[in-house]
Structure 1
Amino acid sequence: MSAGSGAERAARRRLSRGASGLRHLRWAREVLATLEAHVEHNPSLADAYREALRGEAGALAASVQALSGAVKPYRDFLERTRVRYRGRVRVAEHLVREADADGAGGAAEAARERLGEALTALAGMEETQRRPLKEAVSAEIDRLREAMAQMDARLEERVSAALVESLYPPLTDGASRVADDGDPDDDATASPR
């Protein structure tokens, strides 16, 4: 096959770079599970190919673990710390609306001051806490994507392109997440593209 057709196949199986760290983690875990399933359950693999896949699974597992190590603290931060700051801003906005509706000049002034403080605290938190965590996730996503591209190239030299293609789960329109019609609780519940 031509390089163009290989590039087209790779593009079809690639999750969008803009997808979240959590969605990259899901995608990579799906690929890892399929690699491991080929090793364990594909009787048509020659021993040399089985060993190649086993080696790639070990390398990919390390990349998945590294991404997980960056995603977990970021998700914990978003779901615990950041929501508290956002809640504080919403309360301050509510107090401003209430004071404005009551026409209480002094109370409105105090409420606006609290809102300013809450917004300043939110901005500071975004800069000092969120940005470094998000950068760590982004760096691990880049490393994972590069590792998977290299894995594909190595495998395509040894096994069929169809086998490499089989490693990748279907994606939703826009390649923003793994398609999973079988799980209505999954945020990826959608039809493949």
Structure 2
Amino acid sequence: MSAGSAAEGAAARRLSRGASGLRHLRWAREVLATLEAHVEHNPALDGAEREALRGEARALAGAVQALSGAVKPYRDFLERTRVRYRGRVRVAEHLVREADAGHADEGARARLEEALTELAGMEATQRRPLKAALSAEIDRLREAMARMDARLEERHSAAFVESLYPPLTDGASRVADDGDPDDDAAASPR
């Protein structure tokens, strides 16, 4: 494979940078599992190759763990804290609509402004730092995987490196997983 086609192959197996942290975590875990499966089940590998792949798996496992450590607090925040604020805004918006329809609630607009102000404050003080930490870990993971690919391509074929990566859905936004209809990635590969 030429350098140009090797680069095209790498781009084709890359998850979109815009994909969520949770989707990056799934993608990286799929790659790690395939790397480990090569170590355990690929009879074409000699002892030195197998040991080198074990080292790559350990390094990737560390990056996966670091990303997991950033995904969990961000997801917990979104699914617990942020939804409470958003619920409060929806109630305040409802009360404003009711007041506009002639139902008595003179304080509805003030409550809506207060809820929106608190939501904006929460975004600045809680969400942005969590999102920044997650974004940094996504970048570190992607960089670690690019370095891993480069090291592996020195010793193995491009096809071997490509074998590590799962198929992605259209737009490279998530891992394709038709085998699990409950998975949000249940979609056909691109």
The TM-score, its normalising length taken from structure 1, stands at 0.97
Give the 5 Å matches for 1:158-177. Answer: 158-177=155-174
Deviation at 1:47, TM superposition (A): 1.1
CA offset digits 1:2-24 (Å, max 9, x no partner) = 21111100001000000000000
Moved over 6 A (4+): none
Give the secondary structure class of the aligned counterpart of 1:170: coil
> What do the CA deviations read for 1:114-149 (whole angstroms, capped 9, x no partner)?
000000000000000000000000000000000000
In the alignment, structure 1 residue 141 sits paired with structure 2 residue 108: no
Task: Tell me the SS of whatever aligns to 2:96.
Answer: helix
Q: How far apart in 2 are the matches of 1:51 and 1:159?
A: 14
**For residue 92 of structure 2, what is the amino acid of its counterpart?**
A
One of 154, 159, 179 as aligned partner of 1:157: 154
**Percent identity, aligned pairs only?**
87
Q: Which sections of structure 1, spanning at least 5 residues, go unmatched?
A: none
Distance 2:13 2:136 in 1: 21
What is the CA-CA distance between 1:159 and the residue it aligns to? 1.3
> Where do 1:27-176 residues align within 5 Å?
27-104=27-104, 107=105, 109-176=106-173
Letter in 2 for 1:158: R
Give 3-state SS (helix, strand or coil) of 2:101's partner: helix
Q: What secondary structure, in the 3-state scheme, does the structure 2 residue paired with 1:102 have? A: coil
- RMSD of aligned alpha carbons: 0.8
Shift of 1:75: 0.2
SS for the counterpart of 1:128 is helix
State the one-letter code of the partner of 1:155: L
Q: Give the structure-2-normalised TM-score.
A: 0.98
CA deviation digits over 1:27-46, x for unaligned, max 9? 00000000001101111111
Q: More deviation in 55-64 or 93-102?
A: 93-102
2:180 to 180, 183, 190: 183
> Following TM superposition, by how much is the alpha carbon of 1:102 offset from its aligned partner in structure 2, in angstroms?
2.3
Tell me how far 1:161 sits from its aligned partner.
1.2
Residue 19 of structure 1: aligned partner: 19
Number of aligned positions between the proteins: 190
Q: Is the 8 A contact 1:21 1:137 kept in 2?
A: yes
- SS of the equivalent of 1:67 reads helix
Conservation of the 8 A alpha-carbon contact between 1:49 and 1:159: no
